[in-house]
Each structure stands twice: as C-alpha cells, then as structure tokens.
Structure 1
Amino acid sequence: MNFTQRTRGLVKTLAVVLALGFPVMLAVSTAADARVGGGGSSGSRGSRSFSAPPSTATAPNTARPFDRTMTQPGRPNVGAPATGGFFNRPGMGMLGGLAAGFLGAGLLGMLFGGGMFSGLGGLSSIIGLILQIGLIILVVRLAMNWWQRRNATASAYAGPSATGLAPGAGPLASFRSGSGFGLGSGSAPLEIGPSDYEAFERLLGEIQDAWSNEDVNRLHALATPEMVSYFTQDLQANNARGVVNKVSDVKLLQGDLAEAWREGETDYASVAMRFSLVDKTIDRASGRVVEGSDRPVEATEVWTFVRPRGASWELSAIQQT
C-alpha cells in the first residue's frame, strides 16, 4: 500500500510539473523569436486577410491567422485573433476543446485523488490513472490527425503551386515560380516574374536590416504604414526593456509563391520563404546578449507584398506557419 501511495504521489508530481512547464516552454519559444514581426502574424492581405494562403512546398502548414490587423472582417468573428496555446491552433475546433477538457479533468483528478477509478483504491487506482492518461493521448492524437487531414484537404482544393524553379541562377533559384488564384477568386491572374522574385528577396534582407538599425524612416519606404506601425510598437517595447534586437546574415534558403492576385489597381503576392539569420537581443547599456546567439537559426514565414499600379512592391503582412 505504501508503495502504491508513493507511486501515485510521483505521478501526481510529474503531472503538475508537466502542466506548469508546458506553458513556460511555449513562452520561451515565443521569446526567442525577436526578429522583425516578433514571431507573430501581422498585417493585411486585402480582401483575403481572413483566408489562409494556400500551402506550398516551402510552407506546407497552414499560415496562422493575423494577431494584429487593421482590416475589418466581413462577418462577425471571422477575424478573431488566435488565442495561442497547444489546443487553440487554427482548425482544432471541437476536438481541441475536448482534448483540453479531458486533460484538465485528468490533472485535477490526479491532484485531488479523483478520476475514473478513484473509488476502487490500490492497484485499480493506478490502472485507472493509466487509462486516463491513455485516453488523453488518444483524444489529442485524434484531434491532431483531424487537423492535419483538414489542412491537407484545403491545400489540395486550392491546387498546388508550380514546381519548376524560377529562371536564373543564384538566389533566384531558391524560388519556385507559379501563380495562384486562391479559393473563390474572381480576380484577374497576376503573373510573377524573375524581377518580382528579386524584389521579394531584396525586401527580405532590407527590412530585416532596417529593423536591426531601428531605422523607421527606411521601414516606411519598404513596408505599408500598417506594418510600420506594428514595427514601431515593437521597437518601442524593446526600448522600454532597454534592449535592441540585432539581425544579421539573412539568407534565403527556399521560397515559392502561394498566390498572386489583383484587386482594382493594386497587386498582391503572398510568398512562402524559408530563411536563415543570426537573431540576437542585446542589452543597450552593457552590450550583453540577453536572447539568441551568434549561431544562425531558420524561420519559415509567409510574407505578403502589395504593389499599387506603377509603384514598387512593399511588405503588407507577415504570417507564421
């Protein structure tokens, strides 16, 4: 009996540690994304702001909804920002809620001695505890499988991007060419050529550089006023913390076009990009690195660019994948 009680005590302790540690791990992961955009999803994609860009070979996962956007949704609750967390991923829906409920109930049961078989005692309680954990794992796996199947179906319906490499050697070879119409599009097709891909890659580096130098005037020439407002907020937050984020050695590793379309006199292009960079946050007073390191890290994001007729491309949105 003493052995059984000690075993249950260890399992309870482990459950509490996992329950408390998981949010902390998520917070640490988020804090490490200090680059431009802060690892979040911000901006606008015109009339498609509340529909996800089609998946691509570079970004096979669905892009996250916008956490910050000035675009007003066309119907209630369409543009509600994601609340974050493991069970609040886009598309988890009812199964995610059930999984979270089972997990919460199971943890509370373990903490207060309850559970499915709490009244049987001894070995039966351990068996009941194991069954509860197994049930939680089963529900989570079912939810994740359903979510992945849903994304795969949506991607197949939207149609794959062309897989041929963009013309030219060097960095342009990282981009896959193609054009997409998106779901339910009535817009005229928009052709994206080598010069456009060159502009996208150039903007990737120049925006990161202007962000690193805290050059707001330069950012105004590279991004929409909405995006610059978010960058300014983030820079002010860094300044209040007494730190500066330094990004360097930005290199495009792979990229392809998710979709391109035209709305009136304005062109849009959403591009998936996987790139490497050195991302460090430095204390302004001492110069000490407080986050990140000199080791390059990789990121995959969907950047949307906008171009009024006769003007140059500007960044209008960043979405995480």
Structure 2
Amino acid sequence: MQVDSITIIFVVLAAFVLWKLRSVLGEREGFEQRFENGPQVAPGAPPAQLSPAELEWAECAERGGPVWRGFEQISRAQRDFSPKIFLAGARSAYEMIVQAFSRGDEEALQSLTSPDVLAGFKTALDERRARGETMQTTLVGLNDARIVEARAEKNLAVIAVRFDGQFITATHGPDGALIEGDPSTPTNVVDVWTFARPHDATTPNWTLVATSPGQ
C-alpha cells in the first residue's frame, strides 16, 4: 500500500498539534492547581468586613487614623471599652461640670475631676466669691462633641474630646449689676477636655484631667 507524501505531512502535523495541546493543557492544569492552593482574591473585591467593635469605632474615628489606633490600644487594655458609651458619658459630664462650676458646687466638681483640675476650679471659685460675684450659666446645646485624641498609657486610657457648645452666661456683681456676659444671647464656646480612666477601674466612670481652649 502506498502512502503519498501529502498524507504523511497531515499525519505529522496532527501528531504535532496533539502534542502541543497536551503540553499546554498539562501546564494549565498545573497552574490551576497551584492557584487553588493559594489565596483567591477577585479583582475589585470589597475589603475584609469590620468586626462589631470596629463598626462602632468607625462612627467615631477615621479607619486606620490616630484616634482609631488609640481605640485599638485602649481596647486591648480595657475589654469593656466602647467609644459611643464613652462619648455619651463625656457629654453628660461636660454639662454637669459646667453647671457645677456655675453654681460653685465643689462637691460635684470633686467627684468628676482630677485633683489638678479641681484645684484650678476652686481657685476661680474662691476669686469669684472674694469679689462677691455670682454666675449663671445655661448650656443651650452642643453643636458638636467628637473625639480628637485617644491613647493607652501604662496604667491609664486617655481620650480628648472637642466640645463646641452654645451657652448663655451672665456674671453679676455684689449689687446685682451685670458685669460680664449676656443673660439673653447665647455664645459659642469651644473647648478640648481630656478624660482618663485606669485600666483596672471597677466602675465605668472617667475623670476630667485637663481642659484647654479649642479651635
């Protein structure tokens, strides 16, 4: 039986093509196996989901920013830490301390402030009494209260809050005459108050440890 040259050429080409297909498929199967054994991240996949605690942090701080990192530090030292609960308590403390200072209530101030802050308040109250002055302060409302710093120290968690509030404040002299403020017009006051809480605290209370004018 004779086999012409054209037939031989087709047979050789077919064998070559089959060999190449088997070679390519073999390489592809190997690649797919290696890929399956490794991490699979689809292009454009969303970032990893946040934990419940991190979802709460995201309401009070920029993810990955300095305050966020402070939350991480504090949470490692104080497992019950919640920035939302803290901020609600700080707002209440702010109003209570402002009102206590206005009426000269040193006992209330002592329960909410550190010895250094209390000493500053007492000095101002003593000077006010010496002059025979009285003060009336009303917090109309808070425009904003946000955490601007958070960190964990060796024994303490420390958080600073920027308060932007509207107040009606009036100071009267011994004869009742108005000497400062306006009893009918609110004014904006911005302060940064820093609170601290020991890591081994048995109560959820935070203490005011510093105050400074805000911007």
TM over 0.5: yes
Distance 1:192 1:252 in 2: 21
Structure 2, unaligned stretches of length 5 or more?
1-54, 76-80
* Structure 1 consecutive aligned stretches of length 4 or more whose deviation exceeds 3 Å: 179-182, 189-192
Partner of 1:289: 178
Structure 1, unaligned stretches of length 5 or more?
1-165, 168-175
Identity %: 23
Distance 1:204 1:301 in 2: 10
Counterpart residue identity of residue 189, structure 2: A
Distance 1:244 1:225 in 2: 24
Q: With CA pairs under 8 Å and 6+ residues apart, which has the higher RCO, 1 or 2? A: 1
Distance 2:182 2:176 in 1: 13
| Bigger strand share | 2
Deviation at 1:193, TM superposition (A): 2.1
Distance 2:105 2:66 in 1: 35
Counterpart residue identity of residue 292, structure 1: G
Counterpart residue identity of residue 107, structure 2: N
Distance 2:176 2:171 in 1: 9
Distance 1:245 1:215 in 2: 12
Q: Which structure has the larger Rg?
A: 2
For residues 193-248 of structure 1, the C-alpha deviation after alignment (integer angstroms, 9 at most, x for no partner) is 22111111001100011101101111000111110000000011111222122211
Partner of 2:96: 206
Partner of 2:78: none
Partner of 2:42: none
The answer to whether the 8 A contact 2:139-2:165 is kept is: no
Match of 1:226 among 116, 134, 139: 116
Counterpart residue identity of residue 182, structure 2: S
Partner of 1:252: 142
RMSD: 2.5
Normalization by structure 2: what TM-score?
0.61
Equivalences, count:
145
Deviation at 1:250, TM superposition (A): 4.3
Distance 2:135 2:208 in 1: 20
Match of 1:317 among 178, 189, 210: 210
Q: 1:188 to 1:263 in 2, by over 3 A?
A: same
The answer to whether the 8 A contact 1:226-1:316 is kept is: yes
Distance 2:83 2:139 in 1: 26
Partner of 2:73: 188
The answer to whether the 8 A contact 1:207-1:222 is kept is: yes
Partner of 1:197: 87
SS in 2 for 1:287: coil
Partner of 2:51: none
Distance 2:105 2:118 in 1: 10
Match of 2:61 among 170, 173, 178: 178
The answer to whether the 8 A contact 2:61-2:147 is kept is: yes
Within 5 Å, give how 1:1-321 maps onto structure 2.
177-178=60-61, 181=66, 188-190=73-75, 192-283=82-173, 285-294=174-183, 295-309=185-199, 310=201, 311=203, 312-321=205-214
Deviation at 1:273, TM superposition (A): 1.2
